[in-house]
Chains A and B, each alone.
Chain A
Amino acid sequence: MNAPTDPSTLADPLVIAGHAYRSRLLVGTGKYRDFDETRDAIVASGAEIVTVAIRRTNIGQTAGEASLVDALPPAEFTYLPNSAGCYAADDAVRTLKLGRELLDGHALCKLEVLGDSRSLYPNVRETLVAAERLVADGFQVMVYTSDDPIVARELEAIGCVAIMPLASLIGSGMGIVNPWNLRLILEQARVPVLVDAGVGTASDATIAMELGCAGVLMNTAIAKAREPVRMARAMKLAVESGREAFLAGRMPRKLYEASPSSPSTGLI
């Protein structure tokens, strides 16, 4: 189980809005075959923070039917309600207020405002408007956004607690298509930057962490792998290894110039 850890025991915690987390891998709860697979994959991933969507309850549902909160109790995991499916600031704010209410006033949320139903690309103008309103209302906003460094800067200035630029399109598995922009964002940010959207396999997550991201958020990469639980384990290791490599400080790249690893003297 990925129960919240005592922050004082963590050597390299992910700190978001003053809270320390052991896992730098955050996972979505959508697209799994069933709740058992959802739970097995998320437990295998080691994730402590999980995103959820806010939707109308199925009124015709029988009272005894299982729900997500039964499979992943909010006492065990930190829920991150999202505003998925919202195309305007008003809808996103309304959705996240409902999310906060159903989580007993929990302030952490994931803001996303989409601009196109095919690409699911974020509408950054509406995102900025929503972010301002949410921060003013006391939310701790982790904001999904494009990899535009100026927008990232503005979202941070508004008071978002984390900036989450896309690696590529939601659910596309294309990995980080623009590491250059991501680096620009990382260089200027003073809040955690987490790659969110487009991660496809373990190496994508490792690259994000090697670049200096504070964490990675993914859903489809795990849920739509052939073996989701196995991929969840791979992602846990990928994020950990990328983080270690980042902290270790990689060797410099040498273009067009080799450097032998074996001595040049004492040759027979």
Chain B
Amino acid sequence: MLTLTLNGVVTDVDASTIAELVATLGLTGKRIAVERNGEIVPRSRYVETPLAPSDRLEIVGAVGGG
């Protein structure tokens, strides 16, 4: 288990890569974007991008707006 900040909330996650985290959250294949420590992680790199303790992650999607 890793402790990191996910969307502003300190969370324990059972994942060692971005791909695993996305899967744990039920977001695999969904239209999202991921930012790790201020840098965007392209979808093609989810599998090979590791998670580290104290990482700051943002997972965003498109919502209604003007």
> Does chain A have a CB within 8 A of B25?
yes
Q: How far is the CA of A145 from the CA of B25 in the complex (A)?
A: 38
Contact between A98 and B33 (Cβ–Cβ < 8 Å)?
yes
Contact between B33 and A99 (Cβ–Cβ < 8 Å)?
yes
Q: How far is the CA of A77 from the CA of B59 in the complex (A)?
A: 23
Residue numbers in A under 8 Å from B26 (CB-CB): 62-63
Determine the residue in chain A with the shortest Cβ distance to B11: A59
Residue numbers in A under 8 Å from B61 (CB-CB): 54-55, 57, 67, 69, 102
Q: How far is the CA of A170 from the CA of B66 in the complex (A)?
A: 9
Contact between A55 and B31 (Cβ–Cβ < 8 Å)?
no
How many of chain A's residues touch chain B, expressed as a range? Answer: 35 or more
B57 CB to closest chain A CB (Å) equals 10
Binds B, one of A23-31, A185-193, A241-249, A260-268: A23-31
Interface string of B6-49 (1 = CB under 8 A from A): 11110100000000000001110011110100001011000000
Residue numbers in B under 8 Å from A98 (CB-CB): 33, 35, 40, 58, 60
Q: How far is the CA of A267 from the CA of B2 in the complex (A)?
A: 95
Q: How far is the CA of A55 from the CA of B7 in the complex (A)?
A: 10
Interface size on B, residues (CB 8 A): 25
> Does chain B have a CB within 8 A of A118?
no
> Does chain B have a CB within 8 A of A101?
yes
Residue numbers in A under 8 Å from B9 (CB-CB): 59
Residue numbers in A under 8 Å from B33 (CB-CB): 54, 98-99, 101-102
Q: A59-B25, A99-B33 are in contact. Are A52 and B63 (CB under 8 A)?
A: yes
Of B25, B40, B61, most buried by chain A (CB within 10 Å of CB) is B61
A sample of 22 inter-chain contacts (CB < 8 A) reads A28-B64, A29-B63, A30-B65, A31-B64, A32-B64, A52-B62, A52-B64, A52-B65, A53-B63, A54-B60, A55-B63, A56-B60, A57-B30, A57-B61, A59-B11, A67-B31, A68-B64, A69-B61, A82-B65, A97-B40, A103-B62, A170-B66
- Give B residues with C-beta under 8 Å from A: 6-9, 11, 25-27, 30-33, 35, 40, 42-43, 58-66
